[in-house]
């Protein structure tokens, strides 16, 4: 990102709801509109003041129209592009909005991250797809009937999309098992990290999280209001996690026997629905308009790691570049927020960054407890980091994001 700082006026998010939970009836555009409307309401900013809305989403952002849908539903008449960069789509949306402000194209922007894995993407089996296409190509009734000759009953079942790394083709669990093997991470350590994530996230829910906005969501024939994160479990213990069997497919993909496999459903995040938004502008403009400022973005770096040898490691590389550029030491940061789609990835980050104190990482919980809301993760992390800075009385913090295809991002924030 270019030089100069960007003021973070406010940041909000919906509750994180595991797939099939309270937000499962909401579309990505509807969830995105909820956070944009509430963000502007809380900041007392009129919609016509916003010049740009950038929406990041790991899946939905590829359509190119999600940004326009979110802005329209939120009542914002602004340019609204979509960006998609896997699990760091939120960070990319923040960077794109910030860059437009820094170059002087606009004054005020909203960066949004949203993901709705409950809106399951399904497809057709290869034989059924070929039959459908053959029917469309057929010129006679006979041609159309012959297109279905080889279709069996089992071919009629829809196929659910399985999220894999687009380059290594590894599912998340297999990538986590690979990282655990590389860093020598044992099962007990991963389970302990998962318990800590749940305990911290549940404590935040119990204390009340002002950044979380309630969402009226469809529920049968009526509406229910989802007010809190649904994933954190207070009753989770290392003993209960130890009873869970390793994920067989993850180990099998790497030829790892079940007896030494370490990744389970308990120390791996589950897909979650949610959205987050942040209001950005120039620091001088925020002061002149009397807007509160939670913090300022003082730098952003993106990197790419080899998804075969270093899965989900792009964030660590981006962090190294950012710290070197800003002449900062990781040991001097008391607030660090990082993506943790698996305990193995979080522990690997700690192992690769020996100056990172485990106690300052994700003190309000992370994705293992909340759920993996891929495209919205970066915006949630930024909102959490600026609030943690204020709560801890410190003047700087870091956001680190890692995702599939080796993508990684790092942001430096200051008060």
Distance CA(357)–CA(410), nearest Å, equals 17
Torsion sign over Cα 128, 20, 71, 398: negative
**Mean pLDDT of the 80-104 span:** 96
**Mean pLDDT of the 361-382 span:** 97
Least confident of 185-199, 235-249, 250-264, 269-283: 250-264
Residues 300 and 411: beta-carbon distance below 8 Å: yes
Partner residues linked to 54 by β-bridges? 111
Residues 9 and 280: beta-carbon distance below 8 Å: yes
Percent of the chain with pLDDT over 90: 79
How much is the pLDDT for 221? Answer: 83
**Mean pLDDT of the 168-195 span:** 94
> Does the global pTM surpass 0.75?
yes
pLDDT band at 69 (very low <50, low <70, confident <90, very high): very high
pLDDT band at 340 (very low <50, low <70, confident <90, very high): very high
CA 171 to chain centre: 16
109-143 pLDDT per residue, tens = 999 999 999 986 655 677 877 878 878 887 787 87
């Amino acid at each position: 990102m270019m030089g100069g700082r960007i003021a973070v006026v406010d940041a909000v998010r919906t509750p994180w709801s595991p797939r099939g939970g309270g937000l499962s009836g909401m579309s990505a555009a509807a969830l995105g509109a909820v956070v944009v409307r509430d963000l502007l309401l809380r900041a007392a900013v009129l919609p016509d003041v916003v010049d740009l809305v950038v929406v990041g989403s790991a899946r939905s952002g590829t359509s190119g129209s999600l940004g326009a849908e979110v802005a329209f539903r939120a009542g914002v008449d602004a340019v609204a592009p979509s960006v998609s960069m896997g699990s760091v789509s939120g960070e990319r949306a923040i960077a794109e909005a910030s860059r437009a402000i820094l170059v002087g194209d606009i004054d005020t922007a909203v960066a949004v991250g949203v993901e709705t894995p409950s809106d399951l993407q399904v497809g057709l089996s290869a034989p059924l797809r070929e039959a459908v296409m053959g029917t469309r190509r057929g010129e006679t009734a006979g041609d159309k009937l012959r297109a279905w000759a080889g279709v069996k009953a089992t071919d009629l079942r829809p196929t659910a999309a399985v999220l894999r790394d687009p380059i290594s083709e590894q599912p998340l669990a297999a990538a986590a098992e690979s990282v655990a093997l590389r860093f020598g991470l044992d099962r007990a350590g991963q389970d302990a990290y998962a318990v800590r994530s749940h305990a911290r996230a549940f404590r935040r829910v119990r204390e009340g999280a002002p950044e979380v906005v309630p969402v009226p969501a469809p529920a049968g024939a009526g509406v229910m209001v989802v007010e809190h994160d649904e994933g954190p479990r207070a009753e989770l213990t290392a003993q209960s996690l130890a009873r869970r069997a390793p994920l067989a497919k993850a180990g099998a993909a790497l030829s790892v026997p079940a007896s030494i496999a370490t990744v389970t459903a308990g120390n791996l995040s589950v897909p979650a629905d949610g959205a987050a938004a942040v209001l950005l502008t120039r620091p001088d403009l925020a002061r002149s308009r009397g807007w509160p400022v939670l913090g300022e973005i003082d730098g952003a770096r993106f990197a790419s790691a080899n998804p075969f040898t270093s899965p989900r490691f792009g964030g660590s590389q981006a962090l190294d570049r950012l710290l070197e550029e800003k002449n900062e030491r990781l040991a001097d940061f008391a607030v660090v927020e990082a993506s943790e789609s698996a305990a193995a990835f979080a522990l690997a980050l700690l192992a690769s960054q020996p100056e990172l104190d485990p106690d300052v990482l994700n003190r309000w919980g992370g994705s293992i407890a909340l759920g993996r809301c891929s495209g919205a993760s970066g915006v949630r992390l930024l909102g959490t980091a600026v609030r943690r800075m204020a709560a801890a009385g410190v003047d700087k913090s870091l956001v680190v994001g890692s995702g599939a295809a080796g993508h990684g991002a790092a942001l430096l924030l200051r008060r």
